[in-house]
Chain A
Amino acid sequence: QSALTQPASVSGSPGQSITISCTGTSSDVGYYDYVSWYQQHPGKAPKLMIYEVSNRPSGVSYRFSGSKSGNTASLAISGLQAEDEADYYCSSYTSSTLNVFGTGTKVTVL
């Protein structure tokens, strides 16, 4: 089971919107609505931002939204803020290994 494919880096200016893609296969992202997204600041534990493709846990800003089309899931961040600068990982349920994470994306706020 290979890791889900994410862009290595995405950047944007404060106030802009960005999107991070997460590409898998018909055995994971494309089949199950069990895609999650995590935010990780340096030296900190990951934080769940989105679960089940598009659901936000309590306390997560409305500026974060998730979606899926075919084998690709996406995390959108609107109104980019300095505190959004972090690494982001997607994750999906998969029939073969039960869980697969993405390669990770570094978000830079210019």
Chain B
Amino acid sequence: QVQLQESGPGLVKPSETLSLTCAVSGYSISSNYYWGWIRQPPGKGLEWIGSIYHSGSTYYNPSLKSRLTISVDTSKNQFSLRLSSVTTADTAVYYCARVRVAATVGFDYWGQGTLVTVSS
């Protein structure tokens, strides 16, 4: 059974860097799937952030690319997200997920999500 769990600070100050980690259990992150991040502002819809393969190959949402870094640690079976220069618009529930289709669509296993609030 594939399980994902997000972790990281729930509160980040404006202009600082948001950092989250997704720990994967029950499945090897080095298998033939991409792994992704998706976010959802309170009361709003979903937004794809980016995806990564165990080799380190990445795809980023162009609207976030200049502030975004996604990395993978196969030894710990986890992958991470760093989003710099955050503003209140980055306040959202952040989900990590396994990507079933085409590296950027079709997320079949999800973490429970973690709320990150950007506020001073």
Contact = CB atoms under 8 A, between A and B. Distances in A.
Given A45-B95, A98-B59, A38 B46 contact: yes
Nearest to A57: B108
Interface stretch (A12-20, A75-83, A101-109): A101-109
Nearest to A97: B62
Given A38-B46, A46-B46, A99 B105 contact: yes
B102 interface: yes
A48 B100 contact: yes
Interface string A7-30: 000000000000000000000000
A99 B48 contact: yes
Contacts of B95: 45-46
A31 interface: no
A48 B62 contact: no
A99 B61 contact: yes
A51 B45 contact: no
A47 B101 CA distance: 15
A92 interface: yes
B107 interface: yes
B36 to A, nearest CB: 9
Interface of A: 3, 32, 34, 36, 38, 45-48, 51-52, 57, 89, 91-93, 96-104
Interface of B: 38, 45-48, 59, 61-63, 95, 100-108, 110-113
